[in-house]
Amino acid sequence: MSDLTMSRPEKPRVGLFVTCLVDLMRPSVGFAAVKLLEDAGCIVEAPVQTCCGQPAYNSGDRGTTRDLAQRMIETFQGFDYVVAPSGSCAGMIKKHYPELFEEDPNWRAKADALAVKTYELTSFLVDVLGVTQVDASFEGAVTYHDSCSGLRELGVKSQPRKLLASVKGLTLVEMNDSDVCCGFGGTFAVKYSDISGAIVDAKVKNIEASHAPTLLAGDLGCLMNMAGKLSRDGKPIEVRHVAEILASMTDEPAIGLAKDALRK
């Protein structure tokens, strides 16, 4: 049924870390991730979950962060892999959980064990499963924004591009400074809104200059920031999570658009 090229024969059991933003704002991204993982031969489960603690962590509240991290570790430790449709949330587990328990050997070991098997979605597909193409089509040009945590904490750069290259009808046009922050930064966007506004303004100019009618990225926070700015400025650029395109699940309106504004 799918023409995925696989380098791993077994059926790994994957726990989907759906992330708060996808859970609450755009569940279709989660279902796109499930489809991609299942097409690649994984057994996917989404255990009952809440938040990985990143907002608390970045606000200096280590106590709350540890509580939430322990809960996450217990929820996900039984899976072969943990996969998130977000570089920032996967990075929280992979890079920051071990730091969080630096002085607690017992939890440190558990955090390390979870960290090594946690991946951002596209890097899991490409780097771990060896997927080289997806069964998807999308007519038109897209441009891709590299979200900061995925890029610099996890080295996610070539993986989404490799997969996008296999989407029928799609051309990728690189914007200038695709690897420069969009100004989201979680609570930063609200606490320092003037600065965040200026940074996303610069980002949107680069997006526009690419002339691609569609913008993709792998993190919903950044996507909502850029989509919100594009729509505020009246720019008719559609914004989607990369998983939606890779899974050919574009029935839902793009981010920030109403139901009747569907791309035909």
Partner 1 sequence: MTVHTTSPQFKQNAARALHDPQLQKALNNVKQGFIDKRRAAADKLPEFEALRDSARDIKNHTLEHLDLYLEAYEEKVKASGGHVHFARNADEAREIILKICRDAGAKTVTKGKSMISEEIGINHHLEANGIRPVETDLGEYIIQLRNEMPSHIIAPAVHLNASQVEQDFRRVHTHLDAKRDLSEPVQLLSEARAVLRERFLAADVGITGANFLVAETGTSIIVTNEGNGDLTQILPRTHIVLASIEKLVPTLEDVSQLLRVLARSATGQEMSVYTTFSTGPRRSGDADGPENYHVVLIDNGRSAMLGTSFEEMLRCIRCGACMNHCPVYHAVGGHAYGWVYPGPMGAVLTPSLIGVDKAGHLPNASTFCGRCESVCPVRIPLPKLMRHWREREFERHLTPASVRSGLGLWGFVAKRPALYRLATRAAMATLGFAGRQRGRFSWLPLAKGWTKYRDFPAPQGETFQARWKRERNGRAA
Candidates 71, 157, 235, 263; binder of partner 1 (CB under 8 A) is: 71
Binding status of residue 199 toward partner 1 by CB under 8 A: yes
Q: Which DSSP string corresponds to 124-173?
A: IIIIIT-----S-EEEEEEEEE--HIIIIIH--SHHHHHHHTTSEEEEE-
79: contact with partner 1 by CB under 8 A: no
Q: Please give the order of strands across the beta sheet that includes 43-45.
A: 43-45, 13-16, 81-84, 118-120
CB 100 within 8 A of CB 72: no
Of 109, 116, 173, 198, the one binding partner 1 (CB under 8 A) is 198
Token pair, residue 219, equals 């993190």
Which secondary-structure segment (H or E) carries 210? none
Interface residue with partner 1, options 4, 36, 37, 51 (CB under 8 A): 51
User: Where does this chain touch partner 1 (CB under 8 A) — which range of 3-11, 48-56, 127-135, 162-170?
Assistant: 48-56
Smallest gap from residue 191 Cβ to partner 1 (A) = 7
Q: What are the residues facing 81 on neighbouring strands?
A: 14
Q: Is 128 in the site for partner 1 (CB under 8 A)?
A: no
User: Is 90 in contact with 17 (CB distance < 8 Å)?
Assistant: yes
Does 263 engage in binding with partner 1 (CB under 8 A)?
no
**251 lies in the binding site for partner 1 (CB under 8 A):** no
Can residue 77 be called a binding residue for partner 1 (CB under 8 A)? no
Q: Choose between 134 and 255: whose C-beta lies nearer to partner 1.
A: 255
- CB nearer partner 1, residue 67 or residue 139: 67
83 in contact with partner 1 (CB under 8 A): no
* Interface of this chain with partner 1, residues 222 to 241, rule: CB under 8 A: 224-225, 227-229, 231-232
245: which residues sit within 8 A by CB, 6+ positions away?
Answer: 136, 138, 142, 164, 167, 170, 214, 216
